[in-house]
């Protein structure tokens, strides 16, 4: 079955445990980004997407079989669309990681809660009101400070790589589309089925793109690829468990620690320290999405934008 998480009382043991789970999810998502950054120095980005997809496909299929859940779902066309959008979002995100500093690409990716709310309002006719307008302006302003395009800040500004920036923004847009699809699918299909369709689409879609640029992994590169898949799966498990114990606003706020972890990894492993512009931009992006999280009410029986659907176990 699918369902929406129930909020818990702040200060309770369940609430504290939910915060710990969300912190764990943020850590392992940032660890995945770090491994992609490291592996991306010698392996093509699409090869990393394929590795992630294969690991997720094996684990998802195993869980479905163990739970004896029909794996093909009810809204198959929409499930495939969700898989395509998720694949495009992940491919863009991984490519951006190989071209941009970790903290900056993570900050830009966190546009997706705001974009999800916008798409949900346009496609699902969900009423949002003024919080969405303020969140969009604030978050886009933050992304401008992070990216610092030449036409606004001058040629001497430390602008990000254009291809990486376009991929990061594209990844946020595709992820938002995938979340909207999940939001609709959650009313009829099990969360494990929704998760399963991502690798089911991503693996065959990646193969023709990987073939011309494939590099056979050597030595420690195999461990990097395995680590990308495993760390992502652990993060997803922590995320769904944490969301079952926290309200939307608190869960999203704790999730933003991923930006802090990404900044730490960048400083430790790549000597990349976010400057003042990026720090202020990150605060604006976080502020915009947090405003949306704490003021927006979701329709009954659905998950909020930017959140995963809980798996009842």
Distance CA 138, CA 114 (A): 10
The answer on pLDDT for 298 being more than 70 is: no
User: Where does the pLDDT of residue 300 fall: very low under 50, low under 70, confident under 90, or very high at 90 and above?
Assistant: very low
The answer on pLDDT for 287 being more than 90 is: no
The answer on pLDDT for 308 being more than 50 is: no
Q: Read off the pLDDT of each residue in 72-101 and give the average, rounded to a whole number.
A: 91
Rounded to the nearest angstrom, the gap between the alpha carbon of residue 267 and the centroid of all alpha carbons in its chain is 22
* pLDDT given at position 250: 66
The answer on pLDDT for 295 being more than 60 is: yes
Asked whether 267 and 273 are in contact (CB, 8 A), the reply is yes
Interhelix angle 45-67/76-99, nearest 10 degrees:
140
* pLDDT given at position 27: 93
* pLDDT given at position 200: 92
* pLDDT given at position 48: 94
Residues 6 or more apart from 81 whose CB is under 8 A from it? 181
pLDDT in tens, 27-78: 999 999 999 999 999 999 999 999 999 988 998 899 899 988 888 888 889 9
* pLDDT given at position 96: 93
CA dist 237 to 60, 78, 119, 252, 279, Å? Answer: 12, 24, 26, 16, 29
Q: Read off the pLDDT of each residue in 171-179 and give the average, rounded to a whole number.
A: 87
pTM above 0.85, yes or no: no
Total domains in the fold of the chain: 1
* pLDDT given at position 246: 66
* pLDDT given at position 106: 87
pLDDT in tens, 215-237: 999 999 999 999 998 898 888 77
Asked whether 238 and 31 are in contact (CB, 8 A), the reply is no
The token pair at 235 is 């993060």
Distance CA 93, CA 100 (A): 10
pLDDT in tens, 96-151: 999 988 888 888 888 877 787 777 777 777 666 677 778 778 877 887 777 766 54
* pLDDT given at position 79: 92
Instruction: Give 283's Cβ-side CA count (13 Å radius).
Output: 7
* Residue 33: domain span: 2-311
């Amino acid at each position: 079955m699918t369902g929406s998480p129930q909020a818990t009382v702040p200060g309770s043991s369940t609430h504290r445990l939910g915060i710990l789970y969300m912190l764990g999810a943020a850590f392992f998502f940032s660890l995945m980004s770090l491994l992609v950054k490291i592996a991306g120095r010698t392996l093509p980005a699409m090869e990393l997407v394929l590795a992630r997809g294969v690991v997720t496909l094996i684990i998802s299929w195993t869980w479905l079989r163990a739970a004896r859940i029909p794996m093909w779902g009810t809204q198959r066309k929409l499930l495939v669309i969700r898989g395509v959008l998720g694949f495009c979002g992940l491919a863009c995100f991984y490519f951006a990681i190989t071209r941009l500093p970790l903290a900056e690409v993570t900050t830009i990716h966190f546009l997706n809660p705001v974009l999800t709310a916008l798409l949900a309002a346009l496609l699902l006719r969900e009423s949002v009101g003024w919080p969405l307008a303020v969140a969009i302006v604030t978050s886009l302003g933050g992304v401008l400070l992070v990216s610092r395009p030449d036409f606004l800040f001058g040629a001497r500004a430390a602008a990000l790589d254009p291809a990486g920036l376009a991929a990061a923004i594209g990844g946020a847009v595709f992820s938002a589309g995938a979340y909207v699809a999940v939001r609709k699918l959650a009313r009829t299909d099990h969360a494990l089925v929704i998760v399963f369709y991502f690798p089911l689409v991503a693996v065959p879609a990646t193969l023709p793109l990987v073939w011309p640029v494939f590099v056979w992994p050597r030595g420690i590169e195999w461990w990097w690829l395995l680590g990308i898949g495993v760390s992502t799966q652990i993060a997803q498990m922590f995320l769904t468990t944490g969301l079952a114990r926290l309200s939307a606003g608190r869960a999203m706020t704790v999730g933003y620690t991923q930006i802090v972890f990404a900044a730490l990894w960048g400083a430790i492993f790549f000597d990349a320290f976010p400057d003042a512009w990026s720090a202020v931009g990150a605060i604006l992006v976080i502020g915009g999405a947090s405003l949306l999280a704490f003021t927006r009410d979701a329709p009954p029986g659905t998950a909020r934008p930017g959140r995963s659907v809980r798996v009842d176990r």
